[in-house]
Structure 1
Amino acid sequence: MTATVVVLGAGYAGAGAILSLEDALDEETDLVWVSDNDYHLVLHESHRCIRDPSVQQNVTIPVDSIKSPSTRFIQGEVTGLDCDDQEVSLDDGSTVSYDYALVTLGSQTAYYGIEGLEEHSLTLKGLDDAFEIHDQVKEAAREATEDDPAQVAIGGAGLSGIQTAGEVAEFRDMHHAPIEITLVEALDEIFPGNDPELQGALRKRLLDLDIEIATGDPITQAEAGEIHFESGESLAHDVFVWTGGITGQDAMGDASLDDEHNRVNADATFETSDDRVFALGDSAIVDQPDGPCPPTAQAAWQAAEVAGENVARALHGQPLAEWTHESKGTVVSVGDKAVAHDVVGVPMNTFGGPAAEILKKGIATRWIRDVGGTLRAARAWPNM
């Protein structure tokens, strides 16, 4: 009897897992790929579309350019996972049966119960989000003057917030637009939890782009055109982007799996509390010796190869391999500049300049090459 393996999601973990599974499974297995989009988005470069929406062609890869013809693709939004009946529910009312499921649905924005935040902010979790930020920044700039500049506020000074601020600044400078940008962070430091040397290098580049940085004052309420802080201060804005955190997808809330905020708990083999369901990427909290695996693109694509192999092993009753995350370093873009830190094989701890910028381009185009081919990667290089 033919077994069915279903992969849910087309992010880094999903695309990588498809390639791994196609190598590991035999022809007797029905491999099904389910996603709400018929393309893979190079999410860690989607912020480039804030400055220039035409970059879309370089950060989206059609699923047909990734998968083999024998892998079935179903476009639809996953709304639920029934572990008892081994069925995936889609938004059109249809279901997909599975023998094994690999959950790579990614995450959604977390609002932490802050009043008005979801209703009065933009996010950056997909291509349409980047386009919306572009359009609103452009419109605000059109109505602004040098005496009354447009105010763009970005909440959360993690990776997404920093890179979003950098792209808005590049848009401002490219169009000589009257825009003021404020990056706000509840904690006392930007890029919280990271090395102080890296934080300092990022702060310098943000300030060089005339981005105001406000830290140590959490947002307590958001309204149309204004956000309020714990200190009692407020900040008026024309555009407000919230990048302050992630949580799991709602579809996993009723899946009867061990989870935290809809992010499924998985061990180092990616097996969940149901031995027919595996999970990785932002959908999962993957157990590691030093704590949960970080929800990064780097970790997702490293994990995908082992996760795909483990699903094939489970299908054949073989022992599962444990995966250990190994950080290759951190590279963050700030507009056209970049900062690299703790990069494997590089003697300098933290560095910027052309070396960091080329490294950032190289990371993005290497992934595009791996999933979409060399020609597509070469075309994308100038915009990364």
Structure 2
Amino acid sequence: MTEKVVVLGAGYAGAGAVQTLEEELEHADAEITWISENNYHLVLHESHRVISDPSVENDITIPVGEIASPSTEFIQARVEGVDTDDESVELDDGDTVDYDYLLVALGSQTAYYGIPGMEENALTLKGLDDAREIHEQVKEAASQASRNDPAKVVIGGAGLSGIQSAGEVAEFRDERRAPIDIYLVEALEEIMPGQDSELQGAVRRHLEEADIEIMTNDPITEADEDTIHFDEGEPLDYDVFVWTGGITGQDALDDCNLDNEHNRVTCESDFQTSDENVFAVGDSAVIDQGDNPAPPTAQAAWQAADVVAENIARAINDQPLETWTHEDKGTVVSIGETAVAHNVKAGGMTFPVRTFNSYPAQFLKKAIAARWIADMSSLPKALKAWDSL
């Protein structure tokens, strides 16, 4: 009997898993169906580049036809739900797709934590359209501003996405000599919460050198159409407000009969969920890693994609599943055209300098993205994209 394997999502985990599934199931009696709302894979950790320069988007998107072989059926549609009893996926056009084995890799959506007015008034950065919209709003605000009355751009959330977004707004400002004031707002005491203090300090210095005002230790309590309100501080007026403060699972998993936490499916370290025929990976999943759960990062998704695909093939062949443990290979964060790298490991070795910046960090960040593009598509595409990364 032909086994129907369905993959949901074209992010890092979904795209990577499709390629490995094709290899693992090449000689098996199996059919692979890949479903995604977009007909391309976005190199999401470089999407902030579009904020300063929309022309880079072709370099950071990879058409699905360059990733999957013709033997994999691709369906461009939004997933509306998963019925584990009927073993089917519901699509936005009313169609359903049956499966024998399902991989949930739908990614995440922005979490607003019930803050009044946040969802209605804040921009987000979860895709290409979001990055374009931020660019357009920053451009429009700058065109109506002056040196005496600069545009105010506020980035809420000082994790990787927020920091890199603020850096791109600064790049836009500097390249165009635009009258823009930039604020990076974080509810906790320090930027990059939970990270090493050495990395936090290095990134803070670069943000301050980029003339980005950092506001920490004061949560946002409300956002209206032109003002942000804080728990203790004075309200802050804005022209453009971008919220990058957290993630939650996709609405498509609302009524899914799988164990989950805020619509992020819980699974064991072999990626198997509460339904043995359903696997989950990437931001869609909360993966059991003991006391140190795998973070919702591109790095973790890259690592996990191969293993989850191999395990689906193992499940089809009634073989024992492999377990996966996330290996932190360090952090590289860009602030405009500069970058900071920390605790980087490559080839089983740790870089001799724990934290470094300038050209070596910039080169490393480009190399990481270029390698992923080469793996997903081709070396020529990666080389062409180099200047955009």
With the length of structure 2 as denominator, give the TM-score of the two structures.
0.98
Partner of 2:123: 122
Cα offset for 1:233? 1.5
Match of 2:326?
A: 325
Deviation per residue, 1:126-185 (Å, 9 max, x gap): 000000000000000000000000000000000000000000000000001000000000
- The amino acid of 1:65's aligned partner reads E
The residue aligned with 1:372 is 377
Aligned-partner Cα distance in 2 for 1:326–1:65: 28
- Residue 10 of structure 2: aligned partner: 10
Q: Secondary structure at the match of 1:93?
A: coil
Q: Is the 8 A contact 2:121 2:223 kept in 1?
A: yes
User: How far off its partner does 1:232 sit?
Assistant: 4.6
- Residue 102 of structure 1 is matched in structure 2 by 103
Equivalent of 2:365, from 356, 360, 363?
360
After TM superposition, list the pairs within 5 Å mapping 1:213-252 onto structure 2: 213-252=214-253
Matched residue count: 384
Superimposed CA distance per residue, residues 261-290 of structure 1 (whole angstroms, 9 cap, x where no aligned partner): 000001110000000100000000011133
Relative to structure 2, which stretch is displaced further, 230-239 or 273-282?
230-239
Distance 2:375 2:328 in 1: 19
Q: For 1:14 and 1:76, how far apart are their aligned partners in 2?
A: 15
Question: Counterpart of 2:284?
Answer: 283
- Which amino acid is the alignment partner of residue 302 of structure 1? Q
Q: Which secondary structure does the structure 2 equivalent of 1:363 belong to?
A: helix
The yes-or-no answer on 1:145 pairing with 2:150 is no
Task: Show CA shifts across 1:330-361 (max 9, x none).
Answer: 10001001000000130111111111010000
5 Å-filtered alignment, 1:297-336, equals 297-336=298-337
> SS in structure 1 opposite 2:118?
coil
Instruction: Output aligned runs, 1:158-173, within 5 Å.
Output: 158-173=159-174
The Cα shift of 1:106 comes to 0.1
Amino acid at match of 1:21: L
Who is 1:180 aligned against? Answer: 181
3-state SS of the aligned residue for 1:118? helix
1:31-64 CA-partner distances (Å, limit 9, x unpaired): 0000000000000000000000010011100000
What is the rounded CA distance, in whole Å, between the counterparts of 2:311 and 2:75 in structure 1? 23
Q: C-alpha distance in 2, partners of 1:242/1:352?
A: 26
Separation in structure 2 between the aligned mates of residue 105 and residue 320 of structure 1, nearest angstrom: 22
**Runs of at least 4 residues off by over 6 Å:** none
The corresponding residue for 2:87 is 86
Question: Which residue in the other structure is 2:32 paired with?
Answer: 31
C-alpha distance in 2, partners of 1:23/1:230? Answer: 53
Deviations 1:104-145 (A, max 9, x none): 000000000000000000000000000000000000000000
Task: Supply the AA of the counterpart residue of 2:80.
Answer: T
Matching of residues 44-59 of structure 1 within 5 Å: 44-59=45-60
Amino acid across the alignment from 2:7: V
Within 2, Cα distance between the matches of 1:280 and 1:33?
15
Measure the CA separation in 2 of the matches of 1:232 and 1:245: 22
CA distance in 2, matches of 1:27, 1:39: 27
Query: Post-superposition shift, 1:27?
Result: 4.6
Give the SS at the match of 1:191: coil
Tell me the alpha carbon deviations over residues 283-319 of structure 1, each in whole angstroms, 9 at most, x when there is no partner.
0001113332100000001100000000010011110
**Separation in 2, partners of 1:69, 1:293:** 33
For 1:305 and 1:2, how far apart are their aligned partners in 2? 22
SS in 2 for 1:119: helix
| Greater alpha carbon shift after TM alignment, 115-124 vs 344-353 | 344-353
Under a length normalisation based on structure 1, what TM-score does the superposition of the two structures give? 0.99
Would you say the 8 A contact 2:109–2:249 is kept in 1?
Answer: yes
Aligned to 2:120, the other structure's residue is in SS state: coil
SS at structure 2 position matched to 1:380: helix
In percent, how many aligned pairs have the same letter? 64
The answer as to whether partners of 2:107 and 2:250 remain within 8 angstroms in 1 is yes
Q: Distance in 1 between matches of 2:128 and 2:258?
A: 30
Contact 2:218 2:233 (8 Å CA) reproduced? no
In 2, Cα distance between the equivalents of 1:197 and 1:351? Answer: 10
- CA drift of 1:20 comes to 0.8
Deviation at 1:383, TM superposition (A): 1.1
Offset at 1:253?
1.4
Instruction: State the SS of the aligned residue for 2:69.
Output: coil
Q: What SS class does the counterpart of residue 373 from structure 2 fall into?
A: helix
Q: Which residue of 2 aligns with 1:40?
A: 41
Question: Which amino acid is 2:138 matched to?
Answer: V
* Runs (5+) with no aligned partner, structure 2: none
Report the alpha carbon displacement of residue 372 of structure 1 after superposing the two structures with TM: 1.0
Equivalent-residue separation in structure 2 for 1:38 and 1:120 (angstroms) = 28
AA aligned opposite 2:223: A
The separation in 2 between residues aligned to 1:156 and 1:289, in whole angstroms, is: 27
